[in-house]
Every structure is written in structure tokens, then in C-alpha cells.
């Protein structure tokens, strides 16, 4: 059975890449399948719309397939594919006609005391006390997080996702987006202000400081 054969395909990555560039569709499927969750995640975090994210993932996979012969192996395949997906998501977001007019200056998610980024999963990391919340309340909060991210401008959302959700550093973001490090920091700062009104429970407690 083909599906069973694919699950048992243990060819080295370099062999799969070579076979895929030579037109082997099974090799390409085996190559990308383990990374689909990660690739979709970063696209969906940037776009914030499941249908658009699915379309962008398909476009990204076509790009990966088309550009695979030029992959030099300077990085892991997953890293190379991941960056293609980031680019595809950013392009898809730029193509949107609508632009948000709201100036979002007064919002703030929770960040660590030492300034380290916290992922969405961490923002929604339910402590023992929070575990008592009912499932419906957790789902409502997740929806509010997504709504808050969707209120960001395209530029702010892009740097926020890359910095605070995906863990890129300032230099990586600046180089990848073609902007200055200072502009990255500015956009990250503005983006970090983006959830305080929507999610006041995650804003730092200023009392006693």
C-alpha cells in the first residue's frame, strides 16, 4: 500500500531532496510531511485566518517544490522551508486590500520580568490556579488573543509574531524584513502594547513598583 510505504520511507534527507528535485512526488511528500504543523503554525500566526493560511501554505509548498533544486544545504531543510513560509505569509498579508485605521497604542500582553519573550502558548499557559477555568472560558480567551493580534497593523503583527511568538532575534528580523534594527524594536514595542485593553489580566501589575 502506498501510504504504508511512505510512512516507512527512511531515506536520508539529502536523498529525499535529490529525489524530489528529480520529480519524485513521494519523496517530496515524505520530506515535507514532518514539518507541515510548524509551517502552518507560523503562517497562521501571521495571517490569523485559517482559510487564508491554508491557501498560503499551499502556495508556499509550491514555492518550496519549485525552488528546491536551488537549496544548497547551508541550513536545515526545515529552516529553509520555514523562511519561505514566512515570506509567503507576509506577501499574502500585504495583498490584503483592507488596512486597519485604528492606532493601537495602549495595549500590553504579559512578558517575563527579565524581558524575555513569551509565546502565545505561554500567554495561555494555564497555571494551577487558572486550570480551574472552564473550557469555554479558555476558548473565549484564545479568541480574544487572536482578535487582539488581528487588530495589529501588518508591520506590527509581522515583527510581533517573529520576535515574541517564533523567537527570532532583532538582527534576524531586520535582515529578513529589510528594515533597521531600531525599526524592528519600535514595531515590537508598539505590538507589545497591543493586548493590554483586550487582555488586561495579562498586563503587568504596576502597583508597588
Structural domain boundaries in the chain: 2-94, 120-202
Q: Kindly report the number of other CB atoms within 10 A of residue 199's CB atom.
A: 19
Say which DSSP state 98 is in.
Answer: -
Please say whether the beta carbons of 56 and 47 come within 8 A. Answer: yes
Whole-prediction pTM value? 0.64
Q: Decide which of 113 and 157 is more confident.
A: 157
Give the other-Cβ count within 10 Å of 88's Cβ: 25
Query: Is pLDDT larger for residue 103 or for residue 91?
Result: 91
pLDDT digits (tens, 9 = 90+) for 162-183: 888 888 999 989 988 888 999 9
Domain 2-94 sits in CATH at 1.10.1740.10
Residue 111 has pLDDT above 50, yes or no: no
pLDDT of 190 reads: 85
CATH of domain 120-202: 1.10.10.10
Report the pLDDT averaged over residues 130-140: 58
Q: According to the model, what pLDDT value does residue 177 have?
A: 82
Q: What is the pLDDT of residue 67?
A: 95
- Give the dihedral of Cα atoms 36, 173, 143, 120; nearest 10 deg: 80
Residue 98 has pLDDT above 50, yes or no: no
**How many CA atoms within 13 Å lie on the side-chain side of 180?**
3
**Is the model's pLDDT at 200 over the cut of 70?**
no
CB within 8 A of 123, min separation 6: which ones? 109, 110, 145, 199, 202
How many CB atoms lie under 10 A from the CB of residue 15?
A: 13
Amino acid at each position: 500500500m502506498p501510504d504504508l510505504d511512505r510512512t516507512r520511507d527512511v531515506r536520508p534527507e539529502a536523498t529525499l531532496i535529490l529525489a524530489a528535485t528529480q520529480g519524485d512526488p513521494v519523496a517530496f511528500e515524505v520530506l515535507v510531511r514532518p514539518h507541515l504543523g510548524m509551517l502552518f503554525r507560523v503562517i497562521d500566526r501571521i495571517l490569523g485566518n485559517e482559510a487564508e493560511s491554508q491557501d498560503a501554505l499551499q502556495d508556499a509548498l509550491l514555492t518550496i517544490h519549485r525552488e528546491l533544486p536551488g537549496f544548497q544545504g547551508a541550513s536545515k531543510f526545515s529552516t529553509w522551508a520555514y523562511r519561505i513560509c514566512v515570506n509567503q505569509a507576509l506577501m499574502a498579508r500585504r495583498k490584503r486590500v483592507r488596512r486597519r485605521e485604528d492606532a493601537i497604542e495602549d495595549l500590553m500582553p504579559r512578558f517575563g520580568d527579565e524581558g524575555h519573550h513569551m509565546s502565545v502558548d505561554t500567554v495561555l499557559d494555564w497555571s494551577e490556579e487558572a486550570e480551574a477555568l472552564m473550557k469555554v472560558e479558555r476558548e473565549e480567551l484564545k479568541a480574544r488573543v487572536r482578535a487582539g493580534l488581528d487588530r495589529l497593523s501588518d508591520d506590527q503583527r509581522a515583527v510581533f509574531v517573529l520576535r515574541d511568538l517564533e523567537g527570532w532575534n532583532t538582527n534576524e528580523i531586520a535582515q529578513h524584513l529589510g528594515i533597521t534594527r531600531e525599526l524592528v524594536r519600535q514595531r515590537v514595542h508598539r505590538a507589545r502594547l497591543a493586548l493590554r485593553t483586550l487582555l488586561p489580566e495579562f498586563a503587568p501589575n504596576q502597583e508597588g513598583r
